Amino acid sequence: MTDSTGVPLSTEWGMIRDGAGREFRVLKIGKLHLAEATLKLFAPEGDFHARMERVRNMSVNDDDVVLLTFPKSGTHWIWEVLNMLISGKAEYVPWTPDRDFLEIEGEKIEQIPSPKIIITHYSINDLPKDVFKKRVKIVHVSRNPKSVAVSMYHHMKAERLLGDIFPETFSEFLPLFLDEENYMMSYWFSYIQDVETFCRENPENPVFNIKYEEIKKNQHIEIKRLAQFLEIETSDSLVDEIISKCEISKLKTVRGDEKDGGRPAMYRKGIVSDWKNWFTVADNEAFDKVYEEKMSSSKFTFEY
């Protein structure tokens, strides 16, 4: 497999370490570090490398929409909003987000009728080539990284995405988010920089960058802006209904029941500043140091 520039991606097993020195075996594919438990979820057939290659070459339709997010950045919430905007009705669709997830369903998503929402945590550079060829609309949702780190800690712990062993505290988990050599899944800093670089270098491709915190603060305004980007006519009353239906408490009830195929770990608090309850002073200083180093040239700003 090659990256978006045609350079072959190396694939190897390696070890990463949390703040207490615990070791976790991961498969390194390009900018991804995937634990075995994660691989079983994302590539049940056993070959994530081949899955990514097939995804890069799959077909999409002009009226599809890509929902691009780093994990724990409001993915499931905005998926619900998009479905309601596209259908013109404040009603839950009768399927779960997993059906639309590239990492889970791979190229099978080709078979879903359009217009459809394609959810992914892949880097923008690893999307299907057809997305760029057909200039499919991309909705990129980002969230302040301190909240992302806390939400990821709880999610990975609940879903056992590192297997049976897990960091005992958030402080021990944090290096798996901050350390460029020891990160888990994707490296947030590279992920966001890749989006920013892509948008700067490819202005002809329609990308709507929206912040989790901005939507939380001004839901009506931001959802109307989203509808405008998607070229969808909507009304104030419909937007208000969508906001009500997509409250985290309601989504927990509708989507969080395991017996109905739900994923309880996907819906925790859905708030902006819970990270303050988990970061120690030392954690915050370590985080800010890495952020200043990695994002010094970025124009992205976040509300904490």
3-state DSSP of the chain: CECCCCCECCEEEEEEECCCCCEEEEEEECCEEEEHHHHHHHCCCCCHHHHHHHHHCCCCCCCCEEEEECCCCCHHHHHHHHHHHHHCCCCCCCCCHHHHEHHHHHHHHHHCCCCCEEEECCCHHHCCHHHHHCCCEEEEEECCHHHHHHHHHHHHHHHCCCCCCCCCCHHHHCHHHHCCCCCCEECHHHHHHHHHHHHHHCCCCCEEEEEHHHHHHCHHHHHHHHHHHCCCCCCHHHHHHHHHHCCHHHHHHHHCCHHHCCCHHHCCCCCCCHHHHCCCHHHHHHHHHHHHHHCCCCCCCCCC
Predicted confidence band of residue 270 (pLDDT cuts 50, 70, 90) = low
Task: Assess whether pLDDT exceeds 80 at residue 4.
Answer: no
Mean of all residue pLDDT scores within the chain: 90
Q: Is residue 304 part of a domain?
A: no
Measured in whole angstroms, how far is the alpha carbon of residue 97 from the centre of its chain? 12
CATH code for the domain of 237: 3.40.50.300
Q: Is residue 300 part of a domain?
A: no
Range of the domain at 253: 11-293
Amino acid 149: pLDDT: 97
Task: Assess whether pLDDT exceeds 60 at residue 116.
Answer: yes
Q: Is residue 117 part of a domain?
A: yes
Q: Is residue 6 part of a domain?
A: no
Calpha distance 62→154 (Å, rounded): 37
Task: Assess whether pLDDT exceeds 50 at residue 30.
Answer: yes
Mean pLDDT across 76-92: 96
Amino acid 285: pLDDT: 98
Amino acid 8: pLDDT: 46
Calpha distance 270→274 (Å, rounded): 9
Q: Is residue 1 part of a domain?
A: no
Mean pLDDT across 110-132: 95
Q: Is residue 157 part of a domain?
A: yes
Amino acid 7: pLDDT: 43
Task: Assess whether pLDDT exceeds 90 at residue 48.
Answer: no
Question: What amino acid is encoded at 261 in this protein?
Answer: G
Amino acid 263: pLDDT: 55
CB atoms within 10 A of CB 277: 9
Q: Is residue 2 part of a domain?
A: no
**Which of 139-148, 220-229, 244-253 shows the lowest mean pLDDT across its residues?**
244-253
Going 245 to 228 to 216 to 179, the CA torsion angle's sign is positive
- pTM (2 decimals)? 0.92
Task: Assess whether pLDDT exceeds 80 at residue 267.
Answer: no
Task: Assess whether pLDDT exceeds 70 at residue 43.
Answer: yes
Q: Is residue 183 part of a domain?
A: yes
- Number of domains present in the structure of the chain: 1
Task: Compare 259 and 202 and report the one with higher pLDDT.
Answer: 202
